[in-house]
């Protein structure tokens, strides 16, 4: 049981923490942080699986996929932040308009 | 004894990563959450080093912690300017019974994911041997660069397109509140003058060394973006003459070159992005150079947010 | 382990102690200015000792030179950024802590 499995468990934990925060918070910036944490958890599981059997040469294909994922995550975060700022400029606060009556003042 | 210490370091790093993520997502102050998230990114870079992935560590430190942190802080500043009560709505997305059942479901999901990763077979060899067998025909000797730009070049082509697409989306949403141009103090001014040429040199070094050591186009592009962000923060703006066509040429150079190479390989070899082994090294260098310029310019433009020339309009 | 290995280990451990001192200062000092002082002073020395220890194990002079460059850049960036943070704190009206 190499150390890589502990990192894979940490990755699964990061994904779950991020998912809970995504559902629990109403503020859009916190949702964006939560999605980034979920992405990091997935990358951690990928990289841990690349070195799990302790071979000297790690598998480079998951590493390339993780680099691709990091760049795509930053592009998506930038676009999401701009959309959040536009929503704040339109409605005055950075939350999604609710569907239920109790959310609308 | 050595493996015991290494195991202790690994357990400490894994706990630190999870603890920082928990702190970032559960803290009441939004600014504290962003700062803890940047710290989380930096500790993740250490985790990548422990997992034998130095290319990923460079990319995470530069892009995941650096550029994402700058974007988040800039968005936080604009949010504070737009609505002064930006710290409101800390929690409250789920109410009452819904909250408890969602938490139980997520605990079950976490347990299921944990079992799934724990019971994965550990004798799977992976693709390391195939990559090592074909590395001589790929034109570079760094396996991650070979996979990124030769064996799985199609993914990287789409990735540079995605970056450009995010910028087009940002520009089309329209200009948000512009950042105030304050005159920089002497310290920031001289720091940016000193560091900008050095950062460009470091980016060129990372680009060149990516062929045989950890490095590459994305890490170099992120370092260029860091130089640009620092210049933007000290008040520099692109002169209007350069902001129309040359900026767009710089942004499109990477994706256009890559797309051109894809079309040429389809026409000549019949397969998408099948690089001939004789030319592969030079082609990869050309692609990486234009991609570095484009990635740097795109990340800088994403940080600025507003299309050039429209910064002064609301 | 040779003598240079022992020296490298000693330098790394002392550097780690300086980092711990800086972290204690960050956690225990009362306001922004004293915390900046603790961080920049202790962490610069700590990083210098760590870099010196690692440079002993470097394969070539080029690698040792790159490590030294990292330390110089961190010194430069740390000093400038702590000045900017302190200036920003003063502009927002925070005054240094008095007993």
Res B313: pLDDT: 46
Strand, coil or helix: what is C65?
A: helix
Q: What are phi and psi of B279, to 5 degrees?
A: -95, -5
Please give the interface size between B and C, counted as residue pairs whose CB atoms are below 8 Å apart. 15
- How many other β-carbons are positioned within 10 Å of the β-carbon of residue B34? 21
Q: Which of A42, A9, A50 is nearest to B112 (CA)?
A: A9
- Please, what is the angle between helix A3-24 and helix B30-50, to 10°? 160
Closest CA–CA distance from residue B186 to any residue of chain A (Å): 30
Q: State how far the Cα of C48 lies from the Cα of C73, in Å rounded to an integer.
A: 11
Q: Are B140 and A50 in contact (CB under 8 A)?
A: no
Tens digit of each residue's pLDDT (9 = 90 or more) over C46-97: 999 999 999 999 889 999 999 999 999 999 999 999 999 999 899 888 888 8
Longest dimension (CA), chain A: 60
pLDDT tens, residue by residue, B34-67: 999 999 999 999 999 999 899 999 999 999 999 9
* Tens of pLDDT, residues A38-58: 999 999 999 988 886 666 677
DSSP annotation of A95: B
Q: Shortest CB distance from A92 goes to which of B83, B99, B131?
A: B83
All domains in chain A, ordered by first residue: 3-94 (1.10.287.3510)
Dihedral, CA atoms, B297, B300, B302, B307, nearest 10 degrees?
-80
Nearest C-alpha in B relative to C81: B188
pLDDT at site B79:
87
Mutation target for A interface from B83, B166, B219: give the one with most A CBs within 10 A: B166
Task: State the Cα–Cα distance between residues A31 and A80, nearest whole angstrom.
Answer: 10
Distance CA A27, CA A16 (A): 19
Neighbours of B277 (CB within 10 A): 12
Quote the CA–CA distance of A47 and B17 in Å, as a whole number: 15
Task: Determine the average pLDDT of the residues in C1-26.
Answer: 92
Q: Which of A32, A28, A35 is nearest to A14 (CA)?
A: A35
Phi and psi, residue A44, nearest 5°: -65, -40
Q: Which of A76, A88, A94, A82 is nearest to A39 (CA)?
A: A76
- Give the Cα separation of A20 and B255 in Å (integer): 37
Cα distances (Å, whole numbers) of residue B52 to A55, B216, C72? 11, 17, 27
Q: Let me know if chains A and C touch, i.e. at least 3 Cβ pairs under 8 angstroms.
A: no
Of all residues in chain A, the one with the smallest CA distance to B70 is A78
pLDDT of res. A102: 46
Pick from B187, B194, B198: CB nearest C84: B187
Scanning every residue of chain B, which has its alpha carbon at the shortest distance from the alpha carbon of C77? B191
Q: 3-state SS string over chain B?
A: CHHHHHHHHHHHHHHHHHHHHHHHHHCCCHHHHHHHHHHHHHHHHHHHHHCCCHHHHHHHHHHHHHHHHHHHHHHHHHHHHHCCCCCCCCCCCCCCHHHHHHHHHHHHHHHHHHHHHHCCCCCCCCCHHHHHHHHHHCCCCCHHHHHHHHHCHHHHHHHHHHHHHHHHHHHHHCCCCCCCCCCCCHHHHHHHHHHHHHHHHHHHHHHHHCCCCCCCHHHHHHHHHHHHHHHHHCCCCCCCCCCCHHHHHHHHHHHHHHHHHHHHHHHHHCCCCCCCCCCHHHHHHHHHHHHHHHHHHHHHHHHHCCCCCCCCCC
- What's the pLDDT at A66? 96
Q: How many CB atoms lie within 10 A of CB B233?
A: 17
When CB atoms are compared, the residue of A10, A43, A83 closest to B18 is: A10
Cβ within 8 Å of residue C24, ≥6 positions away? C38
The residue with tokens 């194990």 is C57
pLDDT, tens digit, for every residue of B175-216? 665 566 677 788 998 999 999 999 999 999 999 999 999 999
Distance CA B35, CA B20 (A): 10
Q: Is the pLDDT of residue B314 over 70?
A: no
Is residue B298 within 8 A of residue B251, CB to CB? The reply is yes
The DSSP result for C71-88, as a single string, is HHHHHHHHHHHHHHHHHH
Compute the distance between CA of residue A15 and CA of residue A9 in angstroms, rounded to an integer.
Answer: 10
**pLDDT tens per residue, range A20-39:** 999 988 899 999 999 999 99
Q: What is the mean pLDDT of chain A?
A: 86
Give the distance between the most distant pair of CA atoms in chain C. 55
Name the residue of chain A whose CA is nearest to B29's CA.
A30
**A-proximal residues of B, 90-129, CB under 8 Å:** 90-94, 99, 102-103, 106-107, 109-110, 113-114, 116-118, 120, 122-129
Closest by CA to A36, choosing from A72, A88, A83, A87, is A72
What pTM value is reported for the model? 0.93
- Higher-confidence position of B310 and B240: B240
Q: Is A17 part of the contact surface with chain B (CB cutoff 8 Å)? A: yes
In this prediction the ipTM stands at 0.92
- Average pLDDT taken over every residue of chain B: 88
Nearest to B227 by CA among B203, B243, B209, B252: B203
The whole-angstrom distance between residue A17's C-alpha and the CA centroid of its chain comes to 10
The model's pLDDT over B142-160, given as tens digits with 9 standing for 90+, comes to 999 999 999 999 999 999 9
pLDDT at B258: 95
- pLDDT bin (cut points 50, 70, 90) of residue A103 is very low
* Contact: B125, A53; criterion CB under 8 Å: yes
d(CA A19, CA A72): 19
B92-141 pLDDT per residue, tens: 566 666 788 889 999 999 999 999 988 887 777 778 888 888 888 888 99
């Amino acid at each position: 049981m190499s150390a890589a499995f502990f990192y894979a468990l940490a990755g699964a934990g990061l994904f779950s923490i991020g998912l809970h925060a995504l559902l629990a918070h109403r503020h859009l910036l916190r949702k964006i942080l939560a999605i980034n944490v979920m992405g990091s958890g997935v990358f951690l599981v990928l990289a841990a699986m690349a070195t799990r059997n302790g071979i000297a040469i790690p598998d480079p294909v998951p590493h390339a996929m993780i680099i691709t994922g990091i760049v795509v995550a930053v592009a998506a975060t930038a676009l999401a932040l701009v959309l959040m700022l536009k929503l704040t400029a339109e409605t005055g606060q950075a939350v999604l308009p609710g569907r239920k009556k109790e959310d609308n003042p | 004894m050595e493996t015991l210490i290494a195991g202790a370091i690994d357990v400490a790093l894994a706990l630190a990563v999870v603890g920082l993520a928990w702190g970032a997502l559960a803290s009441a102050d939004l600014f504290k959450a962003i700062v803890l998230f940047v710290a989380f990114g930096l500790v993740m870079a250490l985790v990548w080093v422990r997992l034998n992935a130095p290319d990923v560590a460079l990319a995470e430190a530069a892009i995941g912690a650096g550029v994402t942190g700058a974007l988040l802080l800039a968005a936080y500043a604009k949010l504070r300017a737009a609505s002064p009560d930006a710290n409101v709505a800390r929690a409250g997305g789920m109410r009452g019974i819904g909250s408890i059942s969602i938490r139980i479901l997520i605990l079950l999901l976490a347990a299921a994911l944990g079992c799934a990763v724990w019971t994965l077979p550990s004798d799977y060899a992976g693709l390391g041997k195939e990559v090592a067998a074909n590395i001589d025909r790929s034109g570079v000797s760094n396996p991650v660069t070979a996979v990124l730009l030769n064996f799985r070049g199609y993914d990287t082509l789409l990735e540079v397109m995605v970056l450009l697409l995010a910028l087009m989306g940002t520009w089309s949403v329209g200009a948000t509140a512009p950042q105030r141009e304050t005159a920089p103090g002497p310290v920031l001014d001289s720091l940016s003058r000193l560091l900008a040429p050095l950062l460009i040199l470091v980016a060129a070094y990372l680009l060149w060394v990516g062929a045989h050591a950890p490095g590459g186009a994305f890490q170099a592009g992120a370092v260029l973006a860091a130089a640009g962000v620092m210049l933007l923060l000290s008040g520099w703006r692109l002169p209007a003459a350069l902001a129309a066509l040359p900026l767009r040429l710089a942004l499109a150079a990477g994706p256009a070159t890559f797309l051109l190479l894809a079309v040429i390989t389809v026409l000549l070899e019949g397969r998408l992005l099948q690089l001939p082994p004789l030319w592969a090294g030079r082609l990869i260098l050309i692609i990486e150079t234009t991609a570095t310029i484009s990635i740097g310019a795109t990340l800088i433009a994403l940080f600025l947010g507003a299309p050039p020339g429209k910064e002064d309009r609301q | 382990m040779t003598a240079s290995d022992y020296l490298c280990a000693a330098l790394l451990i002392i550097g780690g102690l300086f980092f711990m001192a800086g972290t204690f200062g960050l956690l225990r000092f009362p306001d922004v200015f004293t915390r900046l002082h603790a961080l920049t002073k202790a962490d610069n020395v700590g990083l210098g000792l760590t870099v010196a220890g690692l440079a002993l194990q470097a394969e070539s002079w080029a690698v040792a030179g790159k490590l030294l460059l990292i330390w110089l850049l961190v010194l430069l960036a740390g000093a400038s950024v702590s000045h900017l943070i302190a200036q920003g704190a003063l502009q927002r009206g925070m005054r240094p802590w008095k007993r």
